[in-house]
Amino acid sequence: MIKAVQFLNQIQAGLGEDERMDIEPQSQRGAVGTGMLLRNMLVRKGADIVGTVICGDHYFLENKEQAMKKLGEMVKALNADVVICGPALNHKRFGECCGYFAEYVRDQCGIPAFAAMAEESTGTPIFRKKVYIIKTPKKGGSGLNIALRKMADFAVKLASKEKIGTPEEEGYFSQD
């Protein structure tokens, strides 16, 4: 079984809105928040969300190095085969957090990682050439299920070290 870890902010984890952006890094076993839907799609492909790492947007961006180090240690403790950052949708600050953390996990922890966010997210233009970013809608709704399926497929491919297809095939933003 492929062990996935998901990175979420306070909103996506269901811990609060903007008033909780100061939540320090923490982890929980299994899937939470949007991960519950994603988990169902992963299980059908021989993968599971073994844990979720969570950090408030403000805390992450104001304490980036410290936050990434703590979150990275949590990811390693969960023995992740792949890390899924998001979906950030169009949550501006969270998109940036996802990009930074996907890059950190890949480069510093040696674990395949990618982000998922909307084209309008401030993280997309910053990170699209640095990390894979699966396209999501701006908000939840019918487009979210399609994005979650693409995320599940991509997570399994990345963890299995399969050849990654074109942006059109896989659903990520072009890195050109």
Structure tokens at 36: 């519950």
Q: What is the pLDDT of residue 140?
A: 74
Among 114, 128, 98, smallest CA distance to 156 is for 114
Structure tokens at 81: 């085969």
Q: What is the DSSP string of 82-112?
A: EEEE---TT-HHHHHHHHHHHHHIIIII---
Q: What is the pLDDT of residue 92?
A: 81
Whole-structure pTM value: 0.96
Tens of pLDDT, residues 113-142: 999 999 999 999 999 999 999 999 998 777
Q: Strand order of the sheet with strand 26-29?
A: 26-29, 47-54, 2-8, 82-85, 113-117, 133-135
Give me the residue spans of the domains in the chain: 2-170
Query: In sequence order, what E strands does the chain have?
Result: 2-8, 26-29, 47-54, 82-85, 113-117, 133-135
Residue 10 has pLDDT above 80, yes or no: yes
Residue 144 phi/psi, 5-degree rounding, is -65, -40
Q: What is the pLDDT of residue 34?
A: 87
Residue 17 has pLDDT above 90, yes or no: no
Q: Which CATH number fits domain 2-170: 3.30.930.20, 3.30.450.20, 1.10.3720.10, 3.40.50.2300?
A: 3.40.50.2300
Structure tokens at 65: 């190095």
